Chains A and B, each alone.
Chain A
Amino acid sequence: DAKTTQPPSMDCAEGRAANLPCNHSTISGNEYVYWYRQIHSQGPQYIIHGLKNNETNEMASLIITEDRKSSTLILPHATLRDTAVYYCIVNLGGGFKTIFGAGTRLFVKA
């Protein structure tokens, strides 16, 4: 079973920030938080990951709470092309078993 909880769907206005929450209350000390997204009919795409600190790359920012029991993926200026299913996952890193849950379906509206 997936070890994360995400809302099934969210809406966001184009140009606004999209904040996608994830709960992972049973995360262990050496597990990473990963985010992937899947645009219709394509393979999932890696977005970002973090262990303890907040992370930012060209796609998104990842905010992890101090107790590491939850995190938020932030798309700073959502576009229509960001409409996708977003998956939050915890695991030990590359090469380890990754179970995908149902994710959050983000709808970006004009």
Chain B
Amino acid sequence: DAGVIQSPRHEVTEMGQEVTLRCKPISGHNSLFWYRQTMMRGLELLIYFNNNVPIDDSGMPEDRFSAKMPNASFSTLKIQPSEPRDSAVYFCASSLMDRRALGYGYTFGSGTRLTVV
């Protein structure tokens, strides 16, 4: 398995531009999570999906941020318009939600380093 795949690995954009980050979860996983990491705030959970349905988006900082999961193999995180304070590493993770509660861990992607200038 190729693991969780994120693209692009690096993104540099100008303030005000739209940015779209992409994630392909591990095949068979039914939960997907978007995190943002900065030195100041650490790892922050932005939003997560179960079976392609958004469950909790309380971590999304502003209306400028939106996330979609149109199918089980793809998710996007969009920032429109982007601002310099959005500069961070954005991680996607996937897991398996099992009603037997066997406790599966997360698998993280390599992240997208976003720089907004």
**Residues A46 and B42 in contact, CB atoms below 8 Å apart:** no
Shortest distance from the beta carbon of A59 to any chain B beta carbon, whole Å? 12
> How many B residues face the partner with a CB closer than 8 A?
30
When each residue 36-68 of chain B gets 1 if its CB lies under 8 Å from chain A and 0 otherwise, what string results? 000000110100101000011000000000000
Chain A CB within 8 A of B34 CB = no
**Residues B43 and A44 in contact, CB atoms below 8 Å apart:** yes
* B43, B91, B97, B108 interface centre (most CB from chain A within 10 Å): B43
When each residue 86-113 of chain B gets 1 if its CB lies under 8 Å from chain A and 0 otherwise, what string results? 0001010101111001111111111100
**Residues B91 and A44 in contact, CB atoms below 8 Å apart:** yes
Task: Give the residue of A30, A46, A99, A102 whose beta carbon is less than 8 angstroms from that of B106.
Answer: A46
- Residue positions of B touching A, CB distance < 8 A: 4, 30-31, 33, 35, 42-43, 45, 48, 50, 55-56, 89, 91, 93, 95-98, 101-111
